[in-house]
Amino acid sequence: MGRWLRIGVPVVAALGVAAAPLLITDTFLLKVFTYVGINVLVVVGLALLFGYAGQISLGHAAFLGLGAYTCAFMTVQLHAPWLLAFACAGIVAALGGLLLALPSLNLSGHYLAMATLAFGELATLAFREGSAVTGGVNGLTGIPFPSIGPFELRSAAAIYWLVWGVAGLAVLIAANLTAMRPGRAMRALHGSELGAAASGVDVVGVKVRVFVLSAAMAGLAGALYASAVGFISPSLYTLQASVGFLAMAVVGGTGSLAGPIVAAALLTLVGYLDALIPGLPRATSELIQTYEPDMYGLAIILVVLFAPGGIGSMWRRWRGAGEAR
């Protein structure tokens, strides 16, 4: 039963996600599910960092921004091939992660939270003031669609498959990492850094690698968003966005990938309920959008207070109870 669930559920979920564009004819709805895929990509990285390694980040939106601006600048100004720009987006964000991770090695808890927050705020300032590259407060427009060689991915379905392809790859990588030695090292780190070091875990190496990988995933997500939407501005990469991603990771729970993926999907979809439920009155959907940030804040508070393990641990408990029976 447990084995069937462990392999069967992800396979069915993957097939369902892959088949969605064949069943969904509404372009906007398909775009909404594309955003879900982008956020899944971010939150999988954050789940490794926060949920496994226990490292808090309040500046993750900065890495999306780094990726988005890199991809946009390279394709718009330098006319670089999209794949190259996309790869560079991941590399630049990873370098940003390295830049932040190396000096932060001795920091934990609130010190790390504040360092990442300051990094994020500095990045926002740089996006806003570096107008020669970033277009200042107005941002960058006319970012071309993704293209692979001569094939431009224009249709909503093609972009959807690209985004979910990358997200799915990230999930696979993360699942492999967490199932093997690096996963155990990360969990040991979460428990106690001293204890992890004492049992032979390369604490510094693990911390830096998780941070860099998580930043790279966010950077790729940023590049995908920029190419899918065609427009970016500094207001997309604020503390509020970082808190939103953190809320997804927190609600998703620690020591789990499925939990954060589900949380990312749920919290992203709430903002687009009008697309999901066709008959929803306009006033209702506007009300939900007005109160969306409140919801993120409340979700963090309620989960930390009442369900510290988030969705992941609820699922484990339910499954554990099922197996015991």
Task: Pick one of 212, 221, 250, 267: the residue that binds other proteins (CB under 8 A).
Answer: 250
Question: Are the beta carbons of 46 and 246 closer than 8 angstroms?
Answer: yes
Q: How far apart are CA 60 and CA 248, in angstroms?
A: 12
CA distance linking residue 119 with residue 2, whole number of Å: 42
**Position 277 contacts other proteins (CB under 8 A):** no
Residues 254 and 313 sit within 8 Å (Cβ to Cβ): yes
Q: Please say whether the beta carbons of 175 and 69 come within 8 A.
A: no
Does position 210 interact with other proteins (CB under 8 A)? The reply is no
Q: Out of 27, 141, 176, 240, name the contact with other proteins by CB under 8 A.
A: 240
Give the interface segment with other proteins, choosing from 119-127, 150-158, 177-185, 220-228 (CB under 8 A): 119-127
208 is an interface residue for other proteins by CB under 8 A: no
User: Exposed, middle or buried: residue 150 (CB in 10 Å: 0-12, 13-18, 19+)?
Assistant: exposed
Question: What are the b/e assignments for 238-250, b being 16+ CB within 10 Å?
Answer: beebbbbbbbbbb
Of positions 16, 281, 293, 322, contacts other proteins by CB under 8 A: 293
Q: Which of 300, 310, 311, 312 binds other proteins (CB under 8 A)?
A: 300
Q: Does 119 bind other proteins (CB under 8 A)?
A: yes
β strands within 164-241, DSSP E: none
Binding residue (CB under 8 A) for other proteins from 1, 3, 22, 103: 103
Size of the site for other proteins (CB under 8 A): 40
- The residues in 126-185 that bind other proteins, with binding defined as CB under 8 A, are 129
Cβ atoms of residues 140 and 232 within 8 Å = yes
Stretch that binds other proteins, among 16-24, 37-45, 159-167, 301-309 (CB under 8 A): 301-309
Rounded to a whole number of angstroms, the minimum distance from the CB of residue 192 to other proteins is 8
Please list every residue from 34 through 73 that binds other proteins, using CB under 8 A: 54, 56, 58
Site for other proteins contains 14 (CB under 8 A):
no
Grouping H, G, I as helix, E, B as strand and the rest as coil, residue 147 is strand
Query: For residues 84 and 102, which CB has a smaller minimum distance to other proteins in the complex?
Result: 102
Per CB under 8 A, does 291 bind other proteins? yes
297 touching other proteins, by CB under 8 A: yes
Across the strands, what pairs with 152? 147
Residues 6+ apart with CB under 8 A from 216: 45, 63, 90, 91, 93, 94, 97
Which pair of tokens denotes residue 99?
A: 């830049």
Question: How far is residue 89 from each of residues 67, 96, 220, measured CA to CA in Å?
Answer: 4, 11, 6
Q: Which of 38, 71, 94, 117 binds other proteins (CB under 8 A)?
A: 117
Could you tell me the smallest distance in angstroms from the CB atom of residue 103 to other proteins?
A: 4
Of 9-17, 84-92, 98-106, 216-224, which part binds other proteins (CB under 8 A)?
Answer: 98-106
299 binds other proteins (CB under 8 A): yes
Q: Considering only 148-156, 200-208, 239-247, 261-269, which stretch makes contact with other proteins by CB under 8 A?
A: 239-247
Q: Residues 201-236, buried b or exposed e (16+ Cβ, 10 A)?
A: bebeebbbbbbbbbbbbbbbbbbbbbbbbeebbbeb
Q: Which positions lie near other proteins, rule CB under 8 A?
A: 54, 56, 58, 103-104, 106-107, 109-111, 113-115, 117-119, 121-122, 125, 129, 194, 239-240, 243, 246-247, 250, 290-291, 293-294, 296-301, 304-305, 308
